[in-house]
Amino acid sequence: MSRSLLASAAALVIVGTFGFGEVFAFGIPGGKKLPGLGGGGGGTNAVTSKAKTKAVNKILKDVGKIAFRGGKIVASKQKWACDKLEKAQKIVTAINQPDLQEKVSDLRKTLYCGLTDPIPAELLAPEEIKPDEAEEFAS
């Protein structure tokens, strides 16, 4: 057993020293590298603070587009927007970004998130009423 162990260790040293191991790299003679297989950063991007900052900015953009119409709050989207902003606030707190914390906090105040006071009527956008196609009217 010790003889076979010594032989395999010696083979590894020889292969490593003379570069024979590269001959078999990716199955290409000469050990040339294949294009596009270098890479890096693929799996780690999701855990970086840059990715989390992008996620918060995307949430802010989505909330701005969906929860407001003509500068007024869409009442039917207010709860959804507040839930999204709560997630954004947790992310921003974790990555410690004061400027984003302020943006999220201001938007939560604007949407009356977490407040028990009713939203003033002048801040609410008129709801679009979709006609019921099944309803028949006398003509």
Domain-located, residue 7: no
Whether the predicted model's global pTM rises above the 0.75 cut: no
CA atoms of 43 and 31, how far apart (whole Å): 26
- Residue 62, both tokens: 């989505």
Tokens of 51: 């990715």
Tell me the per-residue pLDDT of 44-77, one tens digit each, with 9 for 90 and over.
Answer: 655 678 889 999 999 999 999 999 999 899 999 9
Q: Are 30 and 23 in contact (CB under 8 A)?
A: yes
Specify the pLDDT at position 105: 94
Show the domain range for 65.
46-123
Q: Which of 67, 80, 57 is nearest to 110 (CA)?
A: 67
Domain count, the chain: 1
**Residue 41 covered by a domain:** no
Q: Which residues of the chain are under the pLDDT cut of 50?
A: 22-25
Whether 29 maps to a domain, the answer reads: no
In the chain, which residue ranges form alpha helices assigned H by DSSP?
2-18, 20-23, 49-66, 75-95, 98-110
The verdict on residue 35 lying in a domain is no
- Per the domain annotation, does 12 fall within a domain? no
Q: Is residue 17 part of a domain?
A: no
Question: Does residue 131 form part of some domain?
Answer: no
- In this structure, is residue 14 part of a structural domain? no
